[in-house]
Structure 1
């Protein structure tokens, strides 16, 4: 299933003018606040009318300004999940779930949704007695019960603390695998994007600056205008061992990577997001340092920022890495395509939420 979006909307001081395709899986709209992400979600859901354009899903036209087509929200079969769960406070969890069923008989069995989301013990409670993470799980369940052809998630984790985010992320990962429901997901958090996205649409000032697989988009220095910590690398790694000192050893192509212990078993394949700001460069092999991850690398590109920073794109062991350095350091090290360096990463720099 593919969602095709082409729309123009005037928003305050700028015009949103985008075109992209969201294939099966999780497509993340990624960018700073005010880039137009939520406006796109609202347009796809039928909650806002674009000034022009065309939106189709599975070949069905949802909106076409030239043809005068604008399906109402309730006919689009889109499940919406927002920052606040928006559950009915006077209904129990079970009653909130069944409310979703009123809109469609095509949804999955209630027992299947309850089991996948782990909300069986919550069914008789009301939303006021739930944690933020529990409320969001129920909101996901209610949306699924309506049998949507796509879920629209507008920064569903933004209001949660890190512990609650870690609780919810695995459920979004399971939606495609277990329910087969594609997701259009809004986020401005790089680690969240790297963990969830199969496709990323990067936005800045109402325009698409890059779209494609998460590793390609986050590994492109062009995304740095999205924020100082936006750029980074996404490595697919395999767990080799868990050591007694609290570290896990992973292998990503030609790289060995030591991280604080991960929950995945030996042999599991996962994705690791490494922010460019956490990678240091050395012109010679460093000695006597505390960092455990030191890799020979070659510079393939250097992009100077408008301020004091620069982004170096590296190739190391067949993997693409980004390193954020100062312009002064880039000039002092004569960084440029073909320059051999050593990339240095402290094991503790990679946060648990950056590993999935």
Structure 2
């Protein structure tokens, strides 16, 4: 269960390049704001096409410039948690969670996922009534229930107060240790990187 990524892309005047060696666990892309970390996530997700290189997850080639392979985002099965929760405001939490739910091999159990995330009491609430930490947990749950092949987390702890941040840190540790999925996470916080990362890739 691993990422094998070697990509480069010129965006404006910036040249963004990243190499992630294969390995299990949670991989952290660490670096200052504006370094291109989110752009790397978007290349892995298929939202930005690299100029060169390759993207492989669990041995499956999603992009390879040399052999002209570029799988579209919808077939890559990325569970992407953006910096903002991006919940549907007209749907209660339960409907948000189930919106992208997909059965099939590897699918996680809905009730077990809800229990793991500690959001049972939130199911009938509207997104506008959630705290930042609650909304982030729901967004992570929605990504997990889409039966993804891998998870991409873009600054999942940003804009949270200390208590909510600790909640999400503990949740990510549980995901890292119990969910058999490759996880690629972006942060500019060294404490987060060292606590959560099985490996840290500086960018």
The answer to whether the superposition gives a TM-score over 0.5 is yes
Q: Secondary structure at the match of 2:49?
A: coil
* TM-score, normalised by the number of residues in structure 1: 0.55
* TM-score, normalised by the number of residues in structure 2: 0.95
Q: 1:58 maps to what in 2?
A: 58
Q: Secondary structure at the match of 2:100?
A: helix
Alpha-carbon separation, structure 2, partners of 1:192 and 1:176: 13
- Matched ranges for 1:184-199 at <5 A: 184-199=184-199
Q: 2:99 maps to what in 1?
A: 99
CA contact (8 A) 1:132 1:164 kept: yes
* Alpha-carbon distance, 1:25 to partner: 1.0
Alpha-carbon separation, structure 2, partners of 1:141 and 1:22: 26
CA contact (8 A) 1:84 1:159 kept: no
Once the two structures are superposed, residues 239-261 of structure 1 have per-residue CA deviations (whole angstroms, 9 ceiling, x without a partner) of: xxxxxxxxxxxxxxxxxxxxxxx
Q: How many residues align?
A: 202
Q: 1:245 maps to what in 2?
A: none
Q: 1:253 maps to what in 2?
A: none
Larger RCO of the pair (alpha carbons < 8 Å, separation 6+): 2
Alpha-carbon separation, structure 2, partners of 1:181 and 1:18: 21
CA contact (8 A) 1:83 1:159 kept: no
* Alpha-carbon distance, 1:194 to partner: 1.3
Alpha-carbon separation, structure 2, partners of 1:182 and 1:57: 8
Alpha-carbon separation, structure 2, partners of 1:8 and 1:87: 31
Q: Secondary structure at the match of 2:186?
A: strand
Alpha-carbon separation, structure 1, partners of 2:114 and 2:22: 28
Instruction: Determine if the alignment matches structure 1 residue 158 to structure 2 residue 158.
Output: yes
Q: Secondary structure at the match of 2:151?
A: strand
Q: 2:202 maps to what in 1?
A: 202
Q: Secondary structure at the match of 1:96?
A: helix
Instruction: Determine if the alignment matches structure 1 residue 121 to structure 2 residue 139.
Output: no
Q: 1:167 maps to what in 2?
A: 167
Instruction: Determine if the alignment matches structure 1 residue 7 to structure 2 residue 26.
Output: no
Q: 1:133 maps to what in 2?
A: 133
Once the two structures are superposed, residues 76-101 of structure 1 have per-residue CA deviations (whole angstroms, 9 ceiling, x without a partner) of: 11100111111111111111111121
* Alpha-carbon distance, 1:177 to partner: 2.0
Once the two structures are superposed, residues 308-342 of structure 1 have per-residue CA deviations (whole angstroms, 9 ceiling, x without a partner) of: xxxxxxxxxxxxxxxxxxxxxxxxxxxxxxxxxxx
Alpha-carbon separation, structure 1, partners of 2:11 and 2:52: 13
Alpha-carbon separation, structure 1, partners of 2:123 and 2:107: 18
Greater share of residues in helix: 2
CA contact (8 A) 2:9 2:52 kept: yes
Once the two structures are superposed, residues 92-133 of structure 1 have per-residue CA deviations (whole angstroms, 9 ceiling, x without a partner) of: 11111111214x534211100010011000001110111010
| Aligned-pair Cα RMSD in Å | 1.2
Once the two structures are superposed, residues 159-201 of structure 1 have per-residue CA deviations (whole angstroms, 9 ceiling, x without a partner) of: 2122211121100000122222221000010111111011000
CA contact (8 A) 2:3 2:182 kept: no
Greater share of residues in strand: 1
Q: 1:90 maps to what in 2?
A: 90
CA contact (8 A) 1:97 1:138 kept: yes
